[in-house]
Structure 1
C-alpha cells in the first residue's frame, strides 16, 4: 500500500471514530488551513487556487452554522460571527484583499482555541473509566 493511501486510510479512520467535539475541532483546523493557503495563493497571484481554498473555508463555516443548535442561547450569539466570517471571506475573495482573509482567520482561530479549551476542561471533568472509589 502506498504511503498516500495509508495516510488517506488513517484520515478516514480518524474522522469515522471521532466524537462530535473532535469533528468540530477538525472543521476549525481545516478552515484555518484553507484560509492560510488562500492567503499564500493570493500572495503568489494564484487566483484560481485562492478562490478554491476560500470556497472550502466557506463550506466549512456553512457546516458549522448548520450544526448550531438554535435552542441554545450561545448559538444565537455565534451565528452572526460565523456570518461575519463568511462575509469577510467573500469580500476578501472578490477584492483580493488579504487583510479581510486574515481577519476571518483570526476569528476562526479564536473559535478553535476556545473549543479546544472547552474540550480539555470537559475531559478533565469526566471520571476515569474503570476507576474505583
Structure 2
C-alpha cells in the first residue's frame, strides 16, 4: 500500500507522531471545520445536515473538556469555562436555529487554536534545538 496515495493513512500517521500540543491543534481544526459546515447549513436552513455537523463539533469540544488536566490550576479552569460556554452557545444555536451563535463559537475556538499552534511550534523548536553543555 502506498501511504502517499492514502489520505487516511497519512492522517493516522500524523496523529500517531504528533506532540500533545499538536493533537490539541488538530482537535481545534476538526471542531472549527465541522462548525463552519454547521454554520453554512443552518444559514441555508438545511437543518438535519447542520445539526449533524453541530453534533460532531460538540463531540470534539467534549474531547477537549475531557483532556483538561484540572490539577494544573487556573488555565485549565478558564479553558473549562470557555468550553462549557461554547457548548451552551451551540445548544442555543441548535434550539434557535441560529447560525450566528455558531459563528461566535468558531471565533473563540479559532483564537484558542492560534494560541495552541504557537505553543506547539515553540515546543517543537525546543525539542529540535541542539542541547549544549556549558562549562565554566
TM-score for the superposition, normalised by structure 1:
0.88
Aligned residues: 132
Relative distance call for 1:127 and 1:36 in structure 2 (3 A) is closer
For 2:110 and 2:125, the matched residues in 1 are separated by 23
Asked if the contact 2:28–2:109 (Cα under 8 Å) also holds between the matched residues in 1, the reply is yes
Q: Partner of 1:71: helix, strand, or coil?
A: helix
> 3-state DSSP class of the match of 1:68?
coil
SS at match of 2:69: coil
1:73-110 per-position Cα deviation (integer Å, ceiling 9, x unaligned): 11011111100000001110111111111111111111
- CA–CA separation in structure 2 for the residues paired with 1:131 and 1:11: 35
Partner of residue 114, structure 1: 115
Distance 1:50 1:18, change over 3 A: same
CA RMSD in angstroms, aligned pairs only: 2.2
Deviation per CA, 1:39-70, whole angstroms, max 9, x where unpaired? 11112221111001101110001110011011
Structure 2 portions without partners, runs of 5+: none
SS of match in other structure, 2:6 = helix
Q: Matched residue of 1:45: which SS? A: coil
Helix, strand or coil at the partner of 1:90: helix
CA distance in 1, matches of 2:133, 2:114: 33
Distance 2:128 2:15 in 1: 25
Q: Which residue of 1 aligns with 2:101?
A: 100
List structure 1 segments (4+ residues) > 6 angstroms apart after TM superposition: 130-133
The alignment's TM-score, normalised by the length of structure 2, stands at 0.86
Which structure 2 residues correspond to residues 69-108 of structure 1 after superposition, within 5 A? 69-73=69-73, 74-108=75-109
Question: Which blocks of at least 5 consecutive residues in structure 1 are unaligned?
Answer: none
